[in-house]
Amino acid sequence: MDLTAAQPTTKPDRNLALEMARVTEVAALAAARWIGRGDKEAADQAAVDAMRVLLGSVHMDGVVVIGEGEKDEAPMLYNGEHIGDGSPPEVDIAVDPLEGTELCAFGLPNAIAPWLAALPGRSGWICAMAFAGEHPVAAGAAYVSGEYAWLGFGATKVAHRSRGAQRALLARRLDEAAARGVRVAVTETGERVPGKPSNSYRNILRAGFAEAYLRANFMSAAR
Proportion of the chain above pLDDT 90, given as a percent: 42
Proportion of the chain above pLDDT 70, given as a percent: 87
Mean pLDDT of 166-173: 94
pLDDT in tens, 5-44: 556 565 556 688 899 999 999 999 999 998 888 787 888 8
pLDDT in the model for residue 196: 66
* pLDDT, mean over the chain: 85
| Cα–Cα distance measured from residue 2 to residue 75, given in angstroms and rounded to the nearest whole number | 56
What's the per-residue H, E or C state across 64-118?
EEECCCCCCCCCCCCCCCEECCCCCCEEEEECCCCCCHHHHHCCCCCCHHHHHHC
pLDDT in the model for residue 125: 97
Question: The dihedral of CA 56, 23, 137, 73: what is its sign?
Answer: negative
pLDDT in tens, 41-60: 888 889 999 999 999 999 99
Task: Assess whether pLDDT exceeds 80 at residue 123.
Answer: yes
Of 91-100, 122-131, 178-187, the least confident: 91-100
Task: Assess whether pLDDT exceeds 70 at residue 110.
Answer: yes
Within 8 A by CB and 6+ apart from 171, the residues are 207
